[in-house]
């Protein structure tokens, strides 16, 4: 019975560790995509400025 309890606690610990790892990865992806001055593809927005007319 004692080995089962240790295995259950270890499994719960691994699940928590994996969730923390996934959360860090999601945070890094979210912050990497929100850098000022870049569009969704990661290129500079200024490169396409000449294509659009100015608004009134």
The torsion region of residue 24 among left (phi > 0), alpha (psi -120 to 50) and beta comes to alpha
Q: How far apart are alpha carbons 54 and 38 in whole angstroms?
A: 20
Residue 38 has a CB neighbour count (10 Å cut-off) of 14
Q: Are 29 and 20 in contact (CB under 8 A)?
A: no
* pTM score of the predicted model: 0.50
Query: Tell me: the pLDDT tens digits for 2-54?
Result: 999 999 999 999 999 999 999 999 999 888 866 554 555 555 556 566 676 77
């Amino acid at each position: 019975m004692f080995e089962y309890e240790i295995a259950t606690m270890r499994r719960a610990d691994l699940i928590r560790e994996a969730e923390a790892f996934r959360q860090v990865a999601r945070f890094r992806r979210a912050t990497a995509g929100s850098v000022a001055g870049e569009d969704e593809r990661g290129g500079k927005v200024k490169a396409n400025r000449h294509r659009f007319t100015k608004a009134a």
